[in-house]
Amino acid sequence: MRTAFLPSLRLLLSLIAVLLVSRLSPAILGLFEHSSEAELLMTFFSIALIFSLSFGIFYLSRGTPLPSFVIAIFFGMAAQPFLAPVIHNQAVLGALVGFGATLILFGGGLETP
């Protein structure tokens, strides 16, 4: 009983940590404003954050009754201030959606007999 509760507790604590750190996003993203390529740096930082969160969510969701994509939705809502540079740049958002669709279709093709 106790070991079944630990993955959910770890997931909840991670979600709270992401929410608290995302409150600092104006200060963290403000560090990039002094560069001549500020928009590009913020976009790359957000993309790296997306990949890091997805990697962490995959491992955090093990042992929980919720599927990883449901947990990713909650983490995406918590990290929304960090993801603003990607959301406001349509070209980058389109590239990420295309890349995600490619991964989903490739994974589905691997599992098809």
Contact 58, 68 (CB under 8 A): yes
Contacts of 20 (CB under 8 A, 6+ apart): none
Instruction: Specify the pLDDT at position 27.
Output: 85
Per-residue HEC secondary structure of 17-80 comes to HHHHHHCCHHHHHHCCCCCCCHHHHHHHHHHHHHHHHHHHHHHHCCCCCCCHHHHHHHHHHHCC
Instruction: Specify the pLDDT at position 43.
Output: 83
Q: Over 60: is that where the pLDDT of 1 sits?
A: no
Higher pLDDT, 16 or 69: 16
Residue with tokens 């790359």: 44
pLDDT category of residue 3 using cuts at 50, 70 and 90: low
Q: How far apart are CA 67 and CA 58, in angstroms?
A: 9
What pTM value is reported for the model? 0.77
Instruction: Specify the pLDDT at position 17.
Output: 92
